[in-house]
Amino acid sequence: MALSFPNAEGPGRTDSRDKHHAEQIRCGVHSSFESLFRTYYPRLCRFALRLTGSRMTAEEAVQEVFVRIWKNRASWNPTGSVRAYLYAAVKNQALTSRKQGPAVEVDEQELEKVLSELPGPEEELHHKEMQAAVEEAIELLPPRCRLVFLMHRVEGLTYEEIAEILAISLKTVETQMGRALKILRRLLAHHLPSPKA
């Protein structure tokens, strides 16, 4: 059974659309702001949740970033990709919020499912077992590996965007992703079909 992750829109189309929204937001076009908000709010909340461990803190961090964008819209001009800017801003806000508030345990029920495909009725039990094994294996990854893996495979960010957001080198992103995949292959080996000879 192949693992599947939500398809992220290609970076080229996303960048073009996001840059258009940024230009419109600078001009005060509220519908472009709403569109950008609707597009990124759920993803950014998931990302912030991984950093803070609290759904409320995560949502507040994302909302604060968008409030600042709207308040400063006339001068808001992100360099590079808008998506990378949003993730970096949310990361900074979430880490600041986490430092200001008490440490909170991550409620596993608040974390969204990693796999999005629903199995057919005959595969439901196997799929649930596999999904649980994948989620458990991902949670066993070292924190930096887990974050890089989820940002790439679930959030659809490019290696370059991850490097920019986390302020690490591209080589570090590649190394962490390779390490994550190697660990996951080892942890999930008994759940995956044997390669055909």
Q: How far is residue 24's CA from residue 165's CA, in Å, rounded to a whole number?
A: 24
Does residue 92 sit within a domain? Answer: yes
Q: How far is residue 83's CA from residue 94's CA, in Å, rounded to a whole number?
A: 16
Residues in Cβ contact with 55 at an 8 Å cutoff, skipping those fewer than 6 apart:
45, 49, 107, 110
Domain with 62, as residue range(s), is 11-100
pLDDT at position 6 over 70: no
Across the chain, mean pLDDT equals: 78
pLDDT digits (tens, 9 = 90+) for 40-82: 999 998 888 888 888 888 889 999 999 999 999 999 988 888 9
Same domain, 60 and 124: no
Q: Picking from 9-18, 19-28, 59-68, 86-95, which range would have the lowest pLDDT averaged per residue? A: 9-18
Residue 171 confidence (pLDDT):
95
Look up tokens 């909170």; give the residue. 104
Same domain, 70 and 150: no
pLDDT at position 106 over 60: no
Does residue 197 sit within a domain? Answer: no
- When computed from its CA atoms, the radius of gyration of the chain, rounded to whole angstroms, is 18
Q: How far is residue 145's CA from residue 57's CA, in Å, rounded to a whole number?
A: 23
Residues in Cβ contact with 7 at an 8 Å cutoff, skipping those fewer than 6 apart:
156
Helices and strands counted in the chain (H then E): 8, 0
Does residue 6 sit within a domain? Answer: no
Structural domain count of the chain? 2
Same domain, 15 and 96: yes
Closest to 25 (Cα-Cα) out of 98, 85, 75 = 75
Residue 130 confidence (pLDDT):
74
Decide which of 143 and 10 is more confident: 143
User: For residues 86 and 65, is the Cβ–Cβ distance under 8 A?
Assistant: yes
pLDDT digits (tens, 9 = 90+) for 118-166: 344 555 666 677 777 788 888 888 988 999 998 888 888 899 999 998 9
Does residue 130 sit within a domain? Answer: yes
Residue 194 confidence (pLDDT):
56
Q: For the chain, what is the largest distance between any 2 Cα atoms, rounded to a whole number of angstroms? A: 61
pLDDT at position 10 over 60: no
Burial of 2 (0-12, 13-18, 19+ CB in 10 A): exposed
pLDDT at position 103 over 50: no
For the chain, what percent of residues have pLDDT higher than 70? 74
User: For residues 152 and 145, is the Cβ–Cβ distance under 8 A?
Assistant: no
Q: How crowded is residue 182: how many other Cβ atoms within 10 Å of its Cβ?
A: 11
Q: Picking from 1-10, 15-24, 55-64, which range would have the lowest pLDDT averaged per residue? A: 1-10
Same domain, 135 and 59: no
Residue 113 confidence (pLDDT):
37
